[in-house]
Amino acid sequence: MDNKEKQSGFGTRAVHAGHHVDPQTGAHAVPIYATSTFGYFNAGRGARLFAGEESGYFYSRVLNPTVRAFEEKLANLEGTEDAIAFASGMGAASAIALTFLKQGDEVAFVGPLYGGTEGLLNEVMTGFGVTIREAHDLHELRNVVSQKTRLVWLETPMNPTLGIIDLKAAAEIAHNAGALCVVDNTFATPYLTRPAEHGVDIIMHSATKYLGGHGDVIAGVVATRADLSEPLRGHGLRHVGAALGPFEAYFLIRGMKTLPLRMDRHCHNAAALAEALKDHPNVKKLYYPGLSDHPGHEVATRQMNGKYGGLVSLDLGSQENAFTFLNALKLFTQAVSLGDVESLSSHPASTTHQLLGEETLTRQGITPGLVRLSVGIEDESDLIADVKRNCSAG
């Protein structure tokens, strides 16, 4: 895209950013560059590529043209200077941790985070002498940051309780402590929230979810400023090595072209489902930031482009009720993950968040009766009928 096209609307950029008709062949879709290595053509050029004196492709662990097209599309949509793709969301998270943390540093996070991210911080990074401090809201976050805090790690909406964090306020807390602010933007996607506009330094995604959108790829990506992407590519990608393959990048490029269309439908269906369940006698608690009594509703309204995402969580009172409900649903596949065009359902306490242990689960409000629904793009009336019928049965 040229500079003029950078001013285009989100939908136009979702389609066009990051690629153009191939000047050599005229190929309209981004070609899949299935190559591990690239010829230098002469030894001097090879030396310059390795010394970073000349930019270009030399090895697909570090840079590949198909992967680069995906990175450029995502950076454009997030409004950041650069983006770096990884083999999974956890590959992206671990690259951030291993690039920016060293022994003696502290990480402050607002929990719950995705279970794998908490595992990375609490079980892996602590082994390298990093101290992890947990908060549950911005007030607590202010009390747990210190001069040793290097990263403040957040997710909004939060997984699976769909809490909302005011990103501008959180970034300010991080910056006042001299820390970098990291946000996992998987649930919102850049269509709903662009954390860089709120002062966030590092934005990560499990691209497995809404970015890919079709449940056929595992991928991660980090969007950030040039001064941070340089060490991230150098250490987090080149030395740690969780590189994305070109086939996956191709699927992601294709999926992201319809991101706004899919997100509009996900958000519409989730809002309709939440409305239908609002006063249901078997639903003990409903978590959806679009509800006016949700504690994060006001922040979500201004931070999420007037939409509230495609996830709805509900507490059915007990694990038994939750399991009965999940087993009876017809249109929701019981599976982890989210953001696919197909609706998915999960029981976080016994699956994605199980490793956190009972005490943490209770502290973070991930109760035995909690069910998370990733609302797909099927017909609204079919989804509502499926959920309502089985909620009553539960």
Binding site for ligand PLP (CB under 6 A): 88-90, 114, 116-117, 155, 159, 184, 186, 206, 208, 218, 220, 337
Least distance CB 335 / ligand PLP (angstroms): 11
**What is the distance of C-alpha 44 from the center of its chain?**
41
| Catalytic residue of the set 105, 184, 315, 386 | 184
Place of tokens 């991660």: 220
Shortest distance, position 370 Cβ to ligand PLP, whole Å:
15
Alpha helices, DSSP H, located in the chain: 3-6, 10-16, 43-51, 65-78, 89-100, 115-119, 138-144, 167-176, 189-192, 226-231, 246-256, 259-277, 297-303, 319-328, 357-363, 380-393
Contact 296, 164 (CB under 8 A): yes
SS3 216: coil
Cβ-based nearer residue to ligand PLP, 232 or 391? 232
Nearer to ligand PLP by C-beta: 246 or 394? 246
In angstroms, what is the minimal distance from the CB of 97 to ligand PLP?
13
DSSP-H helix ranges across 149-279: 167-176, 189-192, 226-231, 246-256, 259-277
Q: Two tokens at 347?
A: 């029981």
Known catalytic residue at 210: no
Q: Please answer whether residues 197 and 187 qualify as being in contact, where contact means their C-beta atoms are separated by less than 8 angstroms.
A: no
Q: The sheet that has 333-334: what strands, in order across it? A: 285-287, 311-315, 370-374, 344-346, 333-334
What is the rounded CA–CA span in Å between residue 308 and residue 311?
8
285 part of the active site: no
How far is CA 311 from each of CA 62, 194, 233, 247, 331, rounded to the nearest angstrom?
34, 18, 32, 28, 15
Residue 204, helix vs strand vs coil: strand
Closer Cβ to ligand PLP, 88 or 390, answer by number: 88
CB of 201 to ligand PLP, least distance (A): 17
Closest CA to 94 of 82, 81, 107: 107
* Active-site option among 114, 210, 287, 308: 114
Minimum distance from CB of 333 to ligand PLP (Å)?
15
Among 13, 68, 73, 209, the one annotated catalytic: 209
CA distance linking residue 282 with residue 391, whole number of Å: 7
**4 annotated active-site:** no
Q: Smallest gap, in angstroms, from Cβ of residue 176 to ligand PLP?
A: 26
Catalytic annotation on 382? no
| Closest CB to ligand PLP among residues 64, 346 | 346
Nearest residue (beta carbon) to ligand PLP: 89
- Measured from the Cβ of residue 34, the count of other Cβ atoms closer than 10 Å reads 12
Query: Which of the following is catalytic: 33, 40, 48, 61?
Result: 61
Minimum Å gap between C-beta 88 and ligand PLP is 3
- Taking the least distance from each CB to ligand PLP, the nearer of 90 and 314 is 90
Encoding tokens for residue 213?
């959108």
Q: CB-wise, 89 or 289, nearer to ligand PLP?
A: 89
Q: Which positions are annotated as active-site residues? A: 61, 114, 184, 209
